[in-house]
Chains A and B, each alone.
Chain A
Amino acid sequence: MADSVSNDLSNSVTNSPKPLMYLEDVWKSFGSLEVLKGVSFAFPEGKTTAIVGPSGTGKSVLLKHLVGLLEPDRGKVMVFGTDMAQASEREKFAVRRRMGMLFQDGALFDSMTVGENIEFPLVHHQKELSRDQRRARVAEVLEQVELPGLEDRPTSALSGGQRKRVGLARAIVTRPEVILFDEPNSGLDPITSDAIDALISSMQARLGITFIVISHDIVGTVNVADYIGMLYGGSLIEYGPTEDVLRSENDIVRRFLHRNLELPHETGAGARLPGLERWRDK
């Protein structure tokens, strides 16, 4: 059942508008544990695509394939025209220079200040910039993530939400073409979580680049995503524009949404959630 759904989806996802990055029939196992089972997925350019699903369904594994941290057992992972499964280290690095990523806990370097963390990719990849230019760029992105003047603060003095913002500042400082978010709401209280969602939405609107968000927080996802794909048991069971996914007839999708969005289980289409209204207004 899941396989046939996955095959039907394969065509629809790879035929989505302008796929900047896509996965084609990707399989991945760790020992006897099959994590991804023939996943095909396309990410439209200039849009926010969210990959949702319960914990342990392979969302983070899928994200790691996109940045080349993992290689599939079989299948294609195409990013900017490069197959990450076949690419050399040098080719992978060339692809990664065009991307930014926000890790779950920010993955900030403890030995550096906030400013040094954000400056780090500039030091390594934009050597033509002077120190003053780099500092100006750091100040600019800190302003964008609403943490102005925090350059000299040690990362150990940051709260969870601030770590995410600094991580986001570091991800956007090189002006990448794609930004990936690995569970941007994990470990945050609802208010901070909402603030991060709002920041992601406003950044996407301002930068107009491709955002890929991995999350099990469906409420936040609905607020930020143009497209949603749902992974379940290592397979892609639903994919489409957010509005369509919210009206999905798939029972698993409906149960997932019902629990998270308080949508009526029977219809799969809801109107009770403020986040959903916000998305519709958008």
Chain B
Amino acid sequence: MSAVRRWLFSLGRFALFCGDFLKAAIRQPPPPGATMAEAYRIGIRSMPILLIISAFVGTNLSLQGYYAFKPLGGQSLVGMFVALAGVRELAPIIAASMIAAKAGTEMASQIAVMRIQQQIDALEVMAVNPHWYLITPRLLGIVLVMPALTTIAMYVMVAAAYVVGVYQLGLNGAEFLEFAVQAADTRDLFYGGLKAMIFGVIICMVSCYNGFYSGHGARGVGTATNTAVVTAAVTCVVLNYFISEMVYG
């Protein structure tokens, strides 16, 4: 099978997979308690790594903004630069990438192991729809926490940029915040949350799909996990451009 045909086959199978999930999800409410458990797991477990990455992306934005604007005498605009780049673009992308790397890989590998250990077959034989049982709580959980995680990433990014800008680079704190607030308003928070939800759906569906159709053995699980994180992260980054173009273009 050529690469193009393989890709089309995967795309078709992914569409069918999403269709099966939608049918199953519409027919019955999610398993009780599972959604909050997933939300807690995705949200809390991903938080430390997200905080660290967001903080250091913020510090670097501040540094690069300062060195770019200083020769032009516009270092006071660093707050605006951080808000535009960080809040509008980088925070949703960073949050999506971290969740794909942390929660997405966990979903893909867990489901892949369940596949090779016949646990998914066991669910089917016990007349429990695996699409409903395994995906619904994960999807609802990730959609619930992604906007919150993205908003946290936005604030942490700006706060870290502020600390570096004011205490290391000697910028005026009030000026920094004024320009930041001017550049990014509640509309940006709303679009950031919307992006986050869309990215959450992509991460969950791509990860679960790769787990469901995992190959055999350790190699199969590894490939499924790897494909899931790469596909989800790339899709989110590409889609981010089109959403930004639609919203801000």
Contact = CB atoms under 8 A, between A and B. Distances in A.
Interface of A: 64, 67-69, 89, 93-94, 96-97, 99, 101, 103-105, 107-109, 120-121, 124-125, 170
Nearest to B20: A89
Contacts of B121: 64, 69, 103, 107
Given A105-B117, A107-B117, A124 B122 contact: no
A18 B142 CA distance: 51
Nearest to A89: B129
Contacts of B127: 93-94, 96-97, 121, 124-125
A107 B129 contact: no
B118 A104 contact: yes
A125 B129 CA distance: 12
A101 B117 contact: no
22 contacts: A69-B121, A69-B124, A69-B125, A93-B129, A96-B124, A96-B125, A96-B126, A97-B127, A99-B125, A103-B121, A103-B122, A104-B118, A105-B118, A107-B117, A107-B118, A107-B119, A108-B119, A109-B122, A121-B126, A124-B126, A125-B126, A125-B127
A96 B128 CA distance: 9
A67 B124 CA distance: 9
A189 B171 CA distance: 74
Interface in B77-104: none
Contacts of B129: 89, 93
9 pairs of A and B residues whose beta carbons are closest in the complex: A107-B122, A93-B127, A107-B118, A96-B127, A101-B125, A97-B127, A103-B118, A121-B126, A107-B119
Interface in B179-215: none
Contacts of A108: 119
Nearest to A103: B118
Nearest to B120: A107
Given A96-B127, A124-B127, A109 B118 contact: no
A234 B163 CA distance: 72
A89 B28 CA distance: 14
A125 B133 CA distance: 14
Interface in B113-142: 114, 117-119, 121-122, 124-129
Contacts of A67: 124-125
Contacts of B128: 120-121, 124
A110 to B, nearest CB: 8
A272 to B, nearest CB: 36
B19 to A, nearest CB: 12
A91 to B, nearest CB: 11
B126 A109 contact: no
A124 B117 CA distance: 21
A74 B157 CA distance: 60
Contacts of B124: 67-69, 96
A100 to B, nearest CB: 8
Contacts of B119: 107-109
A104 B129 CA distance: 21
Contacts of A120: 126, 128
Given A96-B125, A96-B127, 10 more contacts: A67-B125, A68-B124, A69-B125, A89-B129, A103-B121, A104-B118, A107-B118, A107-B121, A120-B126, A170-B126
A93 B124 CA distance: 8
A108 B126 CA distance: 12
Which one of B119, B125, B129 has the greatest number of beta carbons of chain A within 10 Å? B125
A120 B119 CA distance: 12
